């Protein structure tokens, strides 16, 4: 009986560790589902922000930008971070439409680096 209890509590501890680990991992994964896409064709894209910004250490300015008059990227954390604040459903002058902007940024780097997903289903996984 004593032994059974001990085994049981080890399992409980292990189980709660697993729950914490997966909750932590999921907190980092942003689901990019923007209102500009009124008739969605694909499930929201998954984007692990901290993996990119912290673990892989990609410069914020690789993805975030606010261009000043001379075309310099002056983005800092106080500036707009929502891509669709500027990239709408349709192109506006030289500002490319949102879907193209995301694909150019995300897929573009993955293809260039030979790392990260490049197929539709990896970024737009079906809901489980």
3-state secondary structure of 83: helix
Which CB, 7 or 120, lies closer to ligand HEC? Answer: 120
- Tell me if residue 14 falls in helix, strand or coil: helix
What does the DSSP 8-state code read for residue 38? S
Output DSSP code: residue 92.
B
Cβ proximity to ligand HEC, 12 vs 74, nearer residue: 74
End-to-end CA distance of the chain: 40
How many Å apart are CA 29 and CA 39, to the nearest integer? 23
Q: Is 97 in the site for ligand HEC (CB under 6 A)?
A: no
Residue 99 as a binder of ligand HEC (CB under 6 A): the answer is: yes
CB of 50 to ligand HEC, least distance (A): 9
Residues 7-66 that bind ligand HEC (CB under 6 A): 30, 32-34, 37, 40-42, 44-49, 51-53, 56, 58, 60, 62-66
Task: Compute the distance between CA of residue 102 and CA of residue 48 in angstroms, rounded to an integer.
Answer: 14
* Interface positions with ligand HEC (CB under 6 A): 30, 32-34, 37, 40-42, 44-49, 51-53, 56, 58, 60, 62-67, 71, 77, 80-87, 94-96, 99, 101-107, 109-110, 113, 115-120, 123-124
């Amino acid at each position: 009986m004593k032994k059974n209890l001990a085994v049981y509590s080890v399992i409980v501890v292990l189980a709660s560790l697993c729950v914490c680990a997966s909750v932590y991992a999921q907190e980092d994964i942003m689901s990019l589902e923007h209102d500009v896409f009124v008739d969605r064709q694909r499930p929201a894209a998954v984007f692990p922000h901290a993996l990119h910004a912290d673990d892989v250490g990609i410069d914020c300015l690789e993805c975030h930008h606010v261009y000043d008059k001379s075309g310099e990227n002056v983005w800092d954390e106080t500036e707009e971070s929502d891509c669709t604040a500027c990239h709408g459903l349709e192109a506006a002058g030289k500002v490319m439409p949102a879907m193209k902007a995301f694909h150019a940024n995300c897929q573009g780097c993955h293809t260039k680096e030979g790392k990260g997903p490049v197929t539709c289903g990896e970024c737009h996984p079906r809901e489980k």
